[in-house]
Amino acid sequence: MNWEGLTCVVTGASAGIGRATAEAFAKKGATVIAVARREDRLADLVDRLGGAPHSYFVCDLSDKEQIRAMAEVIAGRTPKVDILVNNAGIPGPGLVTECSFDDVEAFFRVNLLAPIWCIQALFPLFAHAVRDGRTPAIVNVASMAGRIPIPASAPYTASKYAMVGFSESLWGEMHDKGIQVMAVCPGFVDTEGFPMDVLLKDPLLRWTVMKPPRVADAICRGIESGSTEVRVQGWWSIFYYLTIVMGPLRRRVSQKVWHAKGSGKIQI
C-alpha cells in the first residue's frame, strides 16, 4: 500500500494512541490532520512531524457544532480525506448508580456520538477520496471491553459495545461506497487518560499492558490488509470466545469479580 498522498484525520491526537497513530501515519508518508482539545499538544505534535503539510484543528468533540466547523475547515485545506481514525475517548464516569445524568451524557457524547458525528461531517470528503489500494478507511478505536463486558464499568462497556456494533453495521453501508470500516479492540494500554499503574506494579501482570505505538502499528497493518476488526494482543480472543461458550455462566463470573473488587482483592 502506498501511503504517499493520503490525507488522514486522527481525533484524540494530543496523546496516547491518537498521537502514536499520527506519528505512524506520518512516518509512512501520509499527511496528518490532528484533532484534539489541547492546542499546545497539537502544535508540538505537528512540529515533531515536520510541520507542513501536516496540520491540526482544535476541537471539543463533545460539541457537534465544533465538529461541523472542523469539517468545513478541513474541506478548505484538502479536497479529500482518505483515512479517519475515531480515537478520542474519556474514562467512564464510574458506577452507573453513583454518577449523575450529566456525567453519563457527557461521557457518551465523546465516546459514542462524536465518532458518528465525525463520519457524518467528513463523509463528503470521503466521497471524493482517490481509491488507492485499501483506502479510504474509517477506523473506530473501541476496546476489548466492547467484546468482553467489564464488571463495575457499565457505561464504559456500553460505549465500547456500541462502537463495535456501530462499526459492524457500517460494513454493509460503506462497502458499496468503496470505504473500509475497521474496529480496533485493544486490551490494556498505558496512556495519560487510562493509566495502568496497578497492573504495571504487579510483576505477574505487567506483561498484559501495552504501549500506544503497538496499537498504532496494528492500526496501520489493519488498514493495509483491509481488515474489518483488529484485536491487539491475540490472547484476548481466547477470553472473548470463552465468554461466548460460558453463556449464562458469565453472570456468575461477573458477580465473583464484583465481590473480589469490593473486598479489595483486585482493582479494576
What is the chain's pLDDT, residue by residue, as a tens digit (268 residues)?
889 989 999 999 999 999 999 999 999 999 999 999 999 999 999 999 999 999 999 999 999 999 999 999 999 999 999 999 999 998 888 888 889 999 999 999 999 999 999 999 999 998 878 665 557 999 999 999 889 888 778 899 999 999 999 999 999 899 888 899 999 999 989 888 888 888 888 888 888 888 999 999 999 999 999 999 999 987 777 777 777 776 666 666 555 655 555 544 344 4
> What pLDDT, on the 0 to 100 scale, is given for residue 135?
74
158 within a domain of the structure (yes/no)? yes
> What pLDDT, on the 0 to 100 scale, is given for residue 120?
97
252 within a domain of the structure (yes/no)? no
Residue with cell 462524536: 114
Q: Measured between alpha carbons, how far is residue 159 from residues 9, 102, 153, 182, 215 in Å?
A: 22, 16, 10, 16, 19
> What distance in Å separates the CA atoms of residue 24 and residue 71, rounded to the nearest whole number?
23
> What pLDDT, on the 0 to 100 scale, is given for residue 247?
67
Q: Tell me the three state secondary structure of residue 8.
A: strand
CA nearest to 8, candidates 169, 17, 24: 24
User: 82 is in which domain, residue-wise?
Assistant: 7-236
181 within a domain of the structure (yes/no)? yes
> What pLDDT, on the 0 to 100 scale, is given for residue 235?
77
12 within a domain of the structure (yes/no)? yes
Class of residue 37 by CB neighbours under 10 A (exposed 0-12, middle 13-18, buried 19+): middle
262 within a domain of the structure (yes/no)? no
45 within a domain of the structure (yes/no)? yes
Count of structural domains within the chain: 1
CA nearest to 8, candidates 47, 41, 49: 49
pTM equals 0.88
Please state, as a whole number, how many other Cβ atoms lie within 10 Å of the Cβ of residue 39: 12
257 within a domain of the structure (yes/no)? no
CA nearest to 116, candidates 187, 175, 62, 37: 62
250 within a domain of the structure (yes/no)? no
**Which candidate in 56, 156, 161, 241 is catalytic?**
156
> What pLDDT, on the 0 to 100 scale, is given for residue 153?
83
156 catalytic? Reply is yes
| CATH number reported for the structural domain that contains residue 59 in this entry | 3.40.50.720
Residue with cell 512540529: 47
> What pLDDT, on the 0 to 100 scale, is given for residue 66?
97
> What pLDDT, on the 0 to 100 scale, is given for residue 38?
95
Task: State which amino acid sits at residue 34.
Answer: A
